[in-house]
Amino acid sequence: MERILNKQTPNYLGKPVKVCGWVKTIRSHGKIIFIDLRDRSGILQLVFTPRTPSLYARAQQLRPEWVIAAEGKIKERPKEMINPKLETGKIELQPGKLEIFSQAKTLPFSIDTSGYEITEEKRLKYRYLDLRRERMRKNLQWRQKVIQFMRDFLQKEGFIEVETPILTKSTPEGARDFLVPSRLQPGKFYALPQSPQQYKQLLMVAGIEKYFQIARCLRDEDPRADRQAEHTQLDIEMAFTSQEEILDLVERLYIVLAKKLFPEKKITKIPFPKINYKEAIKKYSSDKPDLRKNKKNPDELAFCFIVDFPMFEWHKKEKRWGAVHHPFTKPQTENISEIKKHPERILAYQYDFVLNGSEIAGGSLRTTNLDVLTAVFEVLGHKKQEIRKLFSNYFEAFSYGVPPHGGIAPGIDRFLAVLLAEPNIREVMAFPKTGDNRDLMMDLPSEVSKEQLKELYIKIEKKKK
């Protein structure tokens, strides 16, 4: 017999079915044993009576979280036993057959609660158990729905989804790269992508014009409370576009998404406010202001765009200029002399997308004038020859004709955390790491064998005390 989901069982009244899942709870009323069976769709009540002795004896052996299959007829519950809180609350299954797939030890924590009361270290160590709780399962279901909605929306807008490489090139600026040693080219390294930045720009040179990707991004950052070594973003790039067109696309996407998937949520203001960076700092002392009318109300969505960011920022420790966004951002002037002499005055075609006080996206128009790009890198402390060598692919590709282009990269994790009123992004990720980039479940990072290191021509030096 083919297995059906628990939530489908009300459609099979009086008919034989097979269901599979985990034993959630066991209750005895007199001689009757009630089992709540959990699968990915919900709960179904199984009823065992002494009328079938061998089956009843097997049911007595069952313990929480054992994995079982049961076959039998779906029957109506007695009126006094109806549970209006469950989709299957009016029916029950009286098994004629019971199969035990596997037994389970006592869990290290309860999965019947929200989980917030349990230490994060313990939850992450046993993440495969933590994901059994209803809240976590629903978060992953919402994640899938949001991503699928974004895909459908952008495809209707004429975008093409393109996967870009995971093994890429290490570049200066931005966060620290994760490096991958090459076995076949000793002494050389790949880098894991902080974002698909260079590839998406090269796709514009290729004439794709409208690209998107649900992209994994990896950054070897210092420990921070709400950051992860790897995160997921909706990566968008468009050719022959303007800042206004990109922001309009994002606004339409998030308005329709909120209204279709989360109708109980109310958007504070449409169209979304556009606030100058300087004004935001002056008025709100923040470049990610919370514009909700009632900040205690999680069902209020206050979106806004922050525009006209400075192109450069002064790093006091290193005593040098850094890029506020990234070096490929287009300055609001192409006067190279002005860029070099007065970097503090230069504004950028950079914009952030903010929701309820959290930055959920960042983007910019891109520099296609290679003289301007060179000047930007010079301000950042690089020499012309070094720039040409590091970005030879850019200079080569752009020499064959490059359209004006720009894009934006909304973060999936942070958006979902705000939308679902979760305290941090780890609650909307299947297998997150700790704040200091450890995977407690897989015990990572871990050591590798001397043979592996030898193959890669790597020698580990012990840290001097």
| pLDDT tens series, the chain, 465 aa | 999 999 999 999 999 999 999 999 999 988 999 999 999 999 999 999 999 999 999 999 999 999 999 999 999 999 999 999 999 999 999 999 999 999 999 999 999 999 999 999 999 999 999 999 999 999 999 999 999 999 999 999 999 999 999 999 887 666 789 999 999 999 999 999 999 988 999 999 999 999 999 999 999 887 676 778 999 999 999 999 999 999 999 999 999 999 999 999 999 999 999 999 999 999 999 999 999 999 989 899 999 999 999 999 999 888 899 999 888 999 999 999 999 999 999 999 999 999 999 999 999 999 999 999 999 999 998 888 888 888 888 889 999 999 999 999 999 999 999 999 999 999 999 999 998 889 999 999 999 999 999 999 998 888 776
CA gap 17, 3 in Å, rounded: 7
Given a contact cutoff of 8 angstroms between Cβ atoms, the answer to whether 38 and 22 are in contact is yes
User: What's the pLDDT score for residue 253?
Assistant: 98
| φ/ψ (deg, to 5) at 447 | -80, 155
Tell me the domain boundaries of the chain. 6-102, 125-309+348-368+403-450
What kind of architecture, by CATH, is found in domain 6-102?
A: Beta Barrel (2.40)
Phi first, then psi: give them for residue 446, nearest 5 degrees: -130, 165
**Is there a contact between 321 and 381 (Cβ–Cβ < 8 Å)?**
yes
Q: Which two tokens stand for residue 124?
A: 């992450």
Give the per-residue pLDDT at 174. Answer: 64
320-323 and 32-39 as β-strands: parallel, antiparallel, unpaired? unpaired
Q: Which two tokens stand for residue 431?
A: 């297998």
Residues 6+ apart with CB under 8 A from 296: none
- 444 by DSSP, 3-state: which? strand
Superfamily of domain 125-309+348-368+403-450: Bira Bifunctional Protein; Domain 2 (3.30.930.10)
Three-class DSSP category at 162: coil
Which residue, 332, 176, 351, is CA-closest to 251?
351
Q: Which residues pair with 211 in a beta bridge?
A: 160, 237
Report the candidate in 210, 261, 138, 195 with the shortest Cα–Cα distance to residue 405: 210
pLDDT of residue 374: 92
Q: Residue 173: its pLDDT value, please?
A: 60
Amino acid at 40: R
Distance CA 237, CA 406 (A): 6
pLDDT score, position 167: 95
Give the integer Cα–Cα distance in Å for 155 and 252.
14
CA separation for the pair 18, 9 (Å, rounded): 9
d(Cα 385, Cα 377) in Å, to the nearest integer?
11
The radius of gyration computed from the CA coordinates of the chain, to the nearest angstrom, equals 28
Q: Which residues contact 225 (CB under 8 A, 6 or more apart)?
A: 424, 435
Q: At what angle do helices 243-261 and 134-156 cross, to 10 degrees?
A: 130
31-to-52, 53, 59 alpha-carbon distances in Å? 12, 12, 12
Question: Who contacts 215 (Cβ-Cβ below 8 Å, separation ≥6)?
Answer: 164, 193, 195, 196, 232, 233, 234, 235, 409
Q: Which residue has the tokens 């974002």?
A: 195
pLDDT of residue 390: 80
pTM for the full predicted model: 0.93
- What confidence score (pLDDT) does residue 226 get? 72
pLDDT at 172: 66
